[in-house]
């Protein structure tokens, strides 16, 4: 990190607070980048004997105490400059308050924002696959990268002291993400909330005196989640595809349309996740990688048919995986081709399968939202309500029922 650009010290008598003998206490003022910090040097002087130009007592041969006082002030000045020099020599950032605390022997270890973020990211990287998903780790890596770029552009520094973070810094970071067009409103808000977690860690460890996010409010934009209609889903299922790789991707996508599994969960689906229910029907029991919450999903005939199609392949698999899932990036690229072949103008992505399960396959067909929530592995019913987009067909069916009553 770059060192501070300006540094100065002066001594001055505080004439607004004189004692009974008309003497004023002498203070040391440390200024770094325009920010001041003051401390008493435990000495007093008659303001008439003070020189504001030299920042010392006026020399006089008749008063030996003046010479001793000036030597004392010179020693303090030299000591403060040595403290500042130590910060510069070791490449450590500093503030006026930090030099003052070092002078008073009550300084604390220097903590910088990106260094704390690096420690956090190293810890969660070690927990990927257990407490954290790879995607969760990657989001924090990206947030750290955006913060580093922001600090470099806005402050011409490689890091900042965590004590210097305030609401203004947070708002400027949010504005920076908007001007750089990092993503939509929700993506930008997510980056800032990731940053918020790091400051909460700093506050919990007493590295900062107050939480700078206390008066900050996240601003989320309501998103209409796209789904396939029943007609579009059947078109995808029944389309004759000319290439084997497209057929395979289509099968995995349709499987998730009838199970609600996310990409990361279907990719790890194995024999161990298939159990028999009390009625003898096969179920998927799997803990979601994102939240570690349990999903319990009855296997519908369409999903069973796909598992049967890849049974031989799965039986020969060394890791016991049930389906041949390729990378998420390639899967989404192939889904774009499938959408074109099926004359579907929607942005066909893998996660759209989960939305389709929640709405077209379940809620539209009268499955209670509580049951859908359990199958999706949601920890809160409010999360399921986001997926519960009312489709026009279901709305008309409900109104037809109402018409019969009146």
Lowest mean pLDDT among 197-201, 243-247, 376-380: 376-380
Structure tokens at 78: 């030299």
Give mean pLDDT, residues 303-331.
88
Is residue 60's pLDDT more than 80?
no
Structure tokens at 72: 């004392």
Model pLDDT, residue 176: 95
Contact 127, 108 (CB under 8 A): no
Contact 112, 49 (CB under 8 A): no
Nearest to 115 by CA among 148, 152, 79: 148
pLDDT digits (tens, 9 = 90+) for 340-371: 999 999 889 998 999 899 888 988 888 888 88
Give mean pLDDT, residues 255-284.
88
Between CA 60 and CA 219 the distance in angstroms is 67
Mean of pLDDT over the chain: 87
Contact 174, 183 (CB under 8 A): no
H or E element at residue 10: strand 7-18
Selected residue with higher pLDDT from 61 and 169: 169
pLDDT category of residue 107 using cuts at 50, 70 and 90: low
Is residue 124's pLDDT more than 80?
yes
Model pLDDT, residue 397: 66
Model pLDDT, residue 221: 76
H or E element at residue 382: helix 381-387
Contact 211, 199 (CB under 8 A): yes
Model pLDDT, residue 195: 96
Selected residue with higher pLDDT from 5 and 364: 364
Q: Return the percentage of the chain with pLDDT > 70, whole number.
A: 91
């Amino acid at each position: 990190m770059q060192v501070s650009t300006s540094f100065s010290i002066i001594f001055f008598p505080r004439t607004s607070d004189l004692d009974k003998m008309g003497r004023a206490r002498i203070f040391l003022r440390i200024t770094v980048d325009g920010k001041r910090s003051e401390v008493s040097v435990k000495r007093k002087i008659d303001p008439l004997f003070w020189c504001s130009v030299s920042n010392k007592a006026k020399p006089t041969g008749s008063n030996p105490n003046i010479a001793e006082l000036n030597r004392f002030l010179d020693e303090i000045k030299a000591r403060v400059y040595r403290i500042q020099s130590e910060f510069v020599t070791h490449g450590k950032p500093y503030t006026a308050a930090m030099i003052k605390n070092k002078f008073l022997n009550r300084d604390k270890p220097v903590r910088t924002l990106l260094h704390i973020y690096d420690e956090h990211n190293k810890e969660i990287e070690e927990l990927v696959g257990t407490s954290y998903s790879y995607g969760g780790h990657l989001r924090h890596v990206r947030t750290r990268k955006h913060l580093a770029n922001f600090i470099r552009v806005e402050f011409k520094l490689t890091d900042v002291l965590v004590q210097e973070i305030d609401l203004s810094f947070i708002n400027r970071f949010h504005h920076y993400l908007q001007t750089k067009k990092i993503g939509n409103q929700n993506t930008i808000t997510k980056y800032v909330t990731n940053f918020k977690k790091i400051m909460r860690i700093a506050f919990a460890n007493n590295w900062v005196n107050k939480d700078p996010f206390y008066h900050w409010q996240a601003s989320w934009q309501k998103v209409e989640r796209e789904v396939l209609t029943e007609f579009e889903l059947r078109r995808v299922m029944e389309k004759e595809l000319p290439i084997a790789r497209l057929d395979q991707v289509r099968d995995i996508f349709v499987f998730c349309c009838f199970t609600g599994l996310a990409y990361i969960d279907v990719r790890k689906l194995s024999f161990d996740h298939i159990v028999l229910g009390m009625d003898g029907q096969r179920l998927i029991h799997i803990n979601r990688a994102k939240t570690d919450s349990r999903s319990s999903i009855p296997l519908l005939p369409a999903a069973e048919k796909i598992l049967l199609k890849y049974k031989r392949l799965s039986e020969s698999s060394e890791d016991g995986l049930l389906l041949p899932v390729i990378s998420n990036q390639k899967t989404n690229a192939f889904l774009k081709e499938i959408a074109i072949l099926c004359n579907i103008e929607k942005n066909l992505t893998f996660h759209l399968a989960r939305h389709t399960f929640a709405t077209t396959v379940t809620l539209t067909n009268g499955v209670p939202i509580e049951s859908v929530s359990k199958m999706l592995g949601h920890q809160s019913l409010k999360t399921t309500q986001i997926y519960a987009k009312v489709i026009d067909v279901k709305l008309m069916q409900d109104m037809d029922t109402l018409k019969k009553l009146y």
